[in-house]
Structure 1
Amino acid sequence: MPQISQIGEIYASQLFWLAIVFALIYFGIGKAMVPKIERTIDDRAARISGDLLAAQTANDTAHGLETAYQSGLDAARAQSLKTVGAAKEQAIAATEATLKTGDAAAHDRIAAATVRIDAAKAAAEAEIETATVDAVQDIVAKLSGVAVDRATIEQKVRAERAHG
């Protein structure tokens, strides 16, 4: 075969060109492209670490703000409990004062009503006694025809009323 017989003639030139192509590829990729790729990787790593640091800082800031918010909220709760307690005490004091005033007024009205009732009761008893004495005097006068002394009748009516 003629192609195999030519190998000896072109073998050295093909190896020479193979070495030149590999050298160009090695120096082209190794010296020109690899530094750019390394620089891109370094930039990306720096950006990622910067972003992580910024995220950590933001997280710490948010945690600090949340702690401050919670402490403010706790202080507001404590203050509101104090305010509610003071308002409750004021309401209780006002209610007690109103109740005392109302109780005193009711007591006065009850005392006045008791006096009026006692007066009305005494007046009614006096009227009943007078009516009873008049009725007894009239009955005795009509039935027996005897005029009985009014003082005696009043004494007897009082004695009967006292015994019930």
Structure 2
Amino acid sequence: MPQIGQLTGNNWYLISQIFWLVLVFGTIFFVIGRGMLPKVEATVDVRDRKIADDLAAAKAARDAADSIEADWQAKSNAARADAQGVIAKAKDKAAKDAEKRLAKANAEIEAKLAAAEAEISAARSSALAEVEAVAGEAAQELVARLTGAKVTAAAAAKAVKAQINV
């Protein structure tokens, strides 16, 4: 094999290949390692720093939103409690107003009832007096027809009253 023979027989050939190998890898090292890699690392560092800053800003925004929500929740609860207090006061006032109107209506009804009872009592007394008068006249006539005796109006009224009160 001639390729192996070239490696073993000619040291200059091996040395030239090693030289070119070192030269190519050195060039690659300096161009990529020293030129491009720092730029790539700087870009990655900038991106990592931007991500960290964005995460910190998002955390701060979330904390601010949580604080605003807690404040809103507290204000909402306070407003709800105030509204319930206003509702309770309105219910109490309405109940008191209803009680006053009911008391006024009851007083009016009681007054009308007392007046009606007085009218009924007066009408009853008047009717009873008329019944007594009619009964007294009827008793006078009955006694006069049955016995032929004359009874006075006062005696007939007294006898009817005695019978009605029994």
- Secondary structure of 1:108's aligned partner: helix
| Partner residue, 1:91 | 94
Indicate yes or no: 2:60 matched with 1:57.
yes
Indicate yes or no: 2:128 matched with 1:119.
no
User: Partners of 1:59 and 1:147 in 2: how far apart?
Assistant: 119
- Secondary structure of 1:148's aligned partner: coil
Indicate yes or no: 2:132 matched with 1:129.
yes
- Secondary structure of 1:152's aligned partner: helix
Gaps of 5+ in 2: none
User: Partners of 2:5 and 2:85 in 1: how far apart?
Assistant: 110
Q: Pick from 25, 29, 32: which aligns with 1:26?
A: 29
| Partner residue, 1:139 | 142
Root-mean-square deviation (CA, aligned residues, Å) is 1.5
User: With structure 2 as the length reference, what TM-score do the two structures score?
Assistant: 0.90
Q: Pick from 44, 65, 72: which aligns with 1:41?
A: 44
Gaps of 5+ in 1: none
Q: Offset at 1:78?
A: 2.4
User: Partners of 2:5 and 2:93 in 1: how far apart?
Assistant: 121
Q: Which whole-Å deviations, capped at 9, do the CAs of 1:38-67 have from their partners, x for residues lacking one?
A: 111101110111001100110111011011
User: With structure 1 as the length reference, what TM-score do the two structures score?
Assistant: 0.91
**Count, aligned residues:** 163
User: Partners of 1:125 and 1:145 in 2: how far apart?
Assistant: 28
Q: Offset at 1:113?
A: 0.7
| Partner residue, 1:109 | 112
Indicate yes or no: 2:3 matched with 1:3.
yes
User: Partners of 1:154 and 1:160 in 2: how far apart?
Assistant: 10
